[in-house]
């Protein structure tokens, strides 16, 4: 098992402190709130007040019923009622009943019954049983009469009284069991607290490992890169700061590798340029004496041997042709050895490519230009034109007759791409790997310097050039140039630029 690192300990401690601090604070606050709530809501004064309230409700209900019974008894013994009954004045009895009902809200209805049948009645309104609780009270009076009273109490009033009584019972139970409940609460809170701490530890370990694992990979990759391995890459996971750092690290290695390859290639090209200059010097010097000697030999022959004269003519023709070829080769070597530095200026890429094709009329109808979005780029018009025309000429030579070469411009984030695609047979793997090496060529009459010159021009612009296969057949060259401020080799002071031949071949 891997040992926990210092950084992991720091992350775990930070998470634990973050989790424990609010939990401890919450424990103190909750305990205080519980105690304060108990002291406010469940104390002797509150309970005593609630008990008094329950007794008051009970007393109010009994008082209402008692008053209603007293009012009813008073009517039973009222001389006016008895006299009205003896005289048979039921209307007077009804008025007495109405006065009694009106004076006592608890009496909902009063009736006079004779032989069980109502003969007089008074009511204060409707009292539905779902809203009122009723009780029937009756008294016998003289003359075989009976007075019957219906007493009502509002159920909502009774419900409030019951609720208050239940509240008192509940609070008394809470007060009685508060100690055991408090202990159970503390146990539950302690269990939850420990569980949260355990989960925090697990989350802390997982997060710490996930972070430190990526940091460790980044450190290992940094060490490998410091040892010279620029092909190492860090897998980018997530969009957090470490993921951004890993992506930036990979981009940095890409830039370093491109810069290293560029420097190495330019150093090789410089060495090859020195060799080309020496070769040009060594080859050029004897060419003129050789040609003059053969010409003098041809002019000085005065013999009549026609066969020898024909051989002499053929020899002169061969020597002059080969000397011409060597002179062109020397010129190519000299041109390669004295490549001028880049003198960049801002141009709009599509307009530049269109103008380049316009100034090379031999390409009319043979190049299909597909412009992309407009984009400003820094480049040397002459030298970049030489590189692009070289790629186009190579593509035309590789393509079947009457097949066009495609010239395309594209823009990307921080880059522009110039693509030259032909319809030829393509390149072998070996040829593709050695294609930009000086003096390597796939053409019978090639010098092997054209694409080397192209690559050097592109590298001097701070760009890069790649070659890939085209589907279904053919080859695609891509020149990528930066659109931002780029590092371009500055020309030395007082530089005089020689003329440049756009027709250099590989």
The full DSSP string for 91-128 is HHHHHHHHHHHHH-TTEEEEEEEETTEEEEEEE-S---
CB atoms within 10 A of CB 464: 17
pTM: 0.50
User: What pLDDT score was predicted for residue 350?
Assistant: 94
- Torsion (CA) 433, 434, 435, 440 in degrees, nearest 10: -160
Residue whose tokens read 């007293």: 70
User: What pLDDT score was predicted for residue 475?
Assistant: 94
CB atoms within 10 A of CB 101: 23
User: What pLDDT score was predicted for residue 506?
Assistant: 46
**Per-residue pLDDT at 35 exceeds 60:** yes
Residue 222 DSSP class: H
User: What pLDDT score was predicted for residue 247?
Assistant: 84
- Greater confidence (232 vs 474) lies with 474
- Range name among 10-24, 48-62, 240-254, 355-369 with the lowest pLDDT average: 10-24
Quick check: helix, strand or coil at residue 379?
strand
Beta partners for residue 478, in sequence order: 419, 466
- Range name among 13-17, 122-126, 128-132, 423-427 with the lowest pLDDT average: 13-17
- The string of pLDDT tens digits covering residues 231-271 is 888 888 777 777 888 888 888 888 888 788 778 777 777 77
Rounded to whole angstroms, how far apart are CA atoms 177 and 162?
23
| Range with top average pLDDT, 45-54, 93-102, 173-182, 413-422 | 413-422
User: What pLDDT score was predicted for residue 179?
Assistant: 74
Question: How does DSSP assign 120-164, residue by residue?
Answer: EEEE-S---TTTEEEEEEEEEETTTEEEEEEEEEEHHHHHHHHHH
Mean per-residue pLDDT, 134-158: 85
- Greater confidence (1 vs 420) lies with 420
> What domains can you pick out in the chain, each with its CATH number?
241-335 (1.10.287), 342-482 (3.30.565.10)
Reference 66, options 125, 156, 153, 160; nearest CA is 153
Rounded to whole angstroms, how far apart are CA atoms 184 and 194?
15
**Per-residue pLDDT at 481 exceeds 90:** yes
Supply the mean pLDDT for the chain. Answer: 81
Q: What is the CA radius of gyration of the chain?
A: 56
- The string of pLDDT tens digits covering residues 311-332 is 888 888 888 888 777 777 777 7
Which residues, at least 6 apart from 480, have a Cβ–Cβ distance to it below 8 Å? 415, 416, 417, 463, 464, 465, 466
- Greater confidence (368 vs 161) lies with 368
Mean per-residue pLDDT, 34-41: 66
- Range name among 214-218, 256-260, 493-497 with the lowest pLDDT average: 493-497
Q: Under a CB-based contact definition with an 8 Å cutoff, are residues 479 and 465 in contact?
A: yes
Read off the pLDDT band of 368 (50, 70, 90): very high
- In this structure, the chain runs to a length of 506
**Per-residue pLDDT at 333 exceeds 80:** no
Q: Under a CB-based contact definition with an 8 Å cutoff, are residues 36 and 75 in contact?
A: no
CA atoms in the 13 A half-sphere facing the CB of 441: 14
User: What pLDDT score was predicted for residue 492?
Assistant: 39
Which residues, at least 6 apart from 268, have a Cβ–Cβ distance to it below 8 Å? 438
CB atoms within 10 A of CB 254: 12
Distance of CA 349 to the CA centre of its chain: 33
Residue whose tokens read 């050789």: 290
- Greater confidence (196 vs 12) lies with 196
Reference 397, options 354, 326, 359, 446; nearest CA is 446
Mean per-residue pLDDT, 293-314: 81
Quick check: helix, strand or coil at residue 243?
helix
Which residues, at least 6 apart from 472, have a Cβ–Cβ distance to it below 8 Å? none
**Per-residue pLDDT at 497 exceeds 70:** no
Rounded to whole angstroms, how far apart are CA atoms 300 and 316?
13
- Range name among 144-158, 312-326, 364-378 with the lowest pLDDT average: 312-326
Mean per-residue pLDDT, 345-350: 94
Question: How does DSSP assign 429-449, residue by residue?
Answer: HHHHHHTTSTT--SSTT--S-
- Greater confidence (292 vs 387) lies with 387
Read off the pLDDT band of 348 (50, 70, 90): very high
Q: Under a CB-based contact definition with an 8 Å cutoff, are residues 85 and 143 in contact?
A: yes
CB atoms within 10 A of CB 424: 19
Q: Which of 216-228 are b and which e, b meaning 16 or more Cβ less than 10 Å from the residue's Cβ? A: eeeeebeeebeee
- Range name among 42-46, 95-99, 123-127 with the lowest pLDDT average: 42-46
User: What pLDDT score was predicted for residue 4?
Assistant: 63
Rounded to whole angstroms, how far apart are CA atoms 49 and 17?
47
- The string of pLDDT tens digits covering residues 428-453 is 888 888 888 877 777 766 667 788 88
Q: Helix H segments across 399-488?
A: 429-434, 450-460
Q: Is 506 exposed, middle or buried (0-12, 13-18, 19+ CB in 10 A)?
A: buried
């Amino acid at each position: 098992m891997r040992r926990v690192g210092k950084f992991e300990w720091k992350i775990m401690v930070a998470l634990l402190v973050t989790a424990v601090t609010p939990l401890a604070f919450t424990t103190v606050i909750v305990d205080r709130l519980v105690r304060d709530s108990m002291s406010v809501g469940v104390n002797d004064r509150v309970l005593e007040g609630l008990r008094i309230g329950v007794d008051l409700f009970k007393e109010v209900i009994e008082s209402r019923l008692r008053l209603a019974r007293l009012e009813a008894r008073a009517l039973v013994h009222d001389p006016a009622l008895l006299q009205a009954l003896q005289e048979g004045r039921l209307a007077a009895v009804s008025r007495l009943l109405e006065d009694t009902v009106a004076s006592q809200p608890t009496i909902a209805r009063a009736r006079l019954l004779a032989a069980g049948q109502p003969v007089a009645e008074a009511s204060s309104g409707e009292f539905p049983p779902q809203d009122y609780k009723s009780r029937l009270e009756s008294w016998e009076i003289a003359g075989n009469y009976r007075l019957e009273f219906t007493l009502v109490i509002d159920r909502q009033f009774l419900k409030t009284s019951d609720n208050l009584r239940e509240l008192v019972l509940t609070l008394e139970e809470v007060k009685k069991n508060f100690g055991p409940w408090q202990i159970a609460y503390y146990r539950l809170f302690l269990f939850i607290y420990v569980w949260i701490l355990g989960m925090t530890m697990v989350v802390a370990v997982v997060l710490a490992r996930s972070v430190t694992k990526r940091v460790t990979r980044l450190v290992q990759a940094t060490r490998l890169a410091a040892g010279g391995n620029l092909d190492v890459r860090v897998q980018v996971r997530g969009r957090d700061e470490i993921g951004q750092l890993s992506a930036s690290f990979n981009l940095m290695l890409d830039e370093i590798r491109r810069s290293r390859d560029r420097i190495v290639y330019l150093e090789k090209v410089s060495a090859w340029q020195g060799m080309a200059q020496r070769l040009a010097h060594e080859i050029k010097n004897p060419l003129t004496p050789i040609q003059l000697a053969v010409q003098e030999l041809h002019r000085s022959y005065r013999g009549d041997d026609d066969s020898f004269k024909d051989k002499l003519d053929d020899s002169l023709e061969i020597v002059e042709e080969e000397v011409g070829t060597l002179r062109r080769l020397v010129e190519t070597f000299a041109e390669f050895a004295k490549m001028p530095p880049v003198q960049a200026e801002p141009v709009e890429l599509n307009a530049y490519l269109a103008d380049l094709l316009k100034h090379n009329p031999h390409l009319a109808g043979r190049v299909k230009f597909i412009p992309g979005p407009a984009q400003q780029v820094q480049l040397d018009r002459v030298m970049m034109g030489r590189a692009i025309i070289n790629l186009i000429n190579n593509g035309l030579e590789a393509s079947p007759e009457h097949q066009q070469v495609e010239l395309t411009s594209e823009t990307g984030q921080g880059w522009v791409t110039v693509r030259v695609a032909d319809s030829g047979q393509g390149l072998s793997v070996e040829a593709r790997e050695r294609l930009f090496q000086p003096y390597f060529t796939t053409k019978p009459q090639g010098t092997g310097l054209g694409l080397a010159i192209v690559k050097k021009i592109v590298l001097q612009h701070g760009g890069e050039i790649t070659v890939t296969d085209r589907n279904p057949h053919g080859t695609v060259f891509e020149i990528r140039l930066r659109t931002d401020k780029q590092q371009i080799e500055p020309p030395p002071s007082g530089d005089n630029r020689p003329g440049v031949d756009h027709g250099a071949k590989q």
